[in-house]
Amino acid sequence: MYRAGQWGVRIENLVLNVPAATPEGDTFAEMLEFETLTLCPIDTRCLDFTLLREDERAWLNAYHATVRARLGPRVTGDARAWLEARTAAL
């Protein structure tokens, strides 16, 4: 249940497990990482930036850069301007 002004928001993305690059000669184990499949800007208007750690800000900026790079060539005009505004670095 969501109530205005209470408890924050939940952000969900679809992800795919893919093999991760490992250092040459690393024989510990095959590692996996996530590839994000859902490419939609996260609405930052509802975020309290004072609560974000630096690594969280970096993740959000990198995610938005990916969204902009992958979707930007597919949209023009007002849609492009909206995308650029919503994916601007924090």
pLDDT digit of tens for each residue in the chain (90 aa)? 667 767 666 778 899 999 998 887 777 778 899 999 989 999 888 888 899 999 999 999 999 999 999 999 999 999 999 999 999 999
| Helix or strand holding residue 80 (H, E) | helix 77-86
Residue 3 placed within a domain: no
In total, how many domains does the chain have? 1
Entry pTM: 0.76
The span from the CA of 89 to the CA of 25, in Å, is 37
Exposed, middle or buried by CB within 10 Å (0-12, 13-18, 19+), for 60? buried
Tell me which residue range forms the domain holding 30.
Answer: 15-86
- Residue 9: inside a domain: no
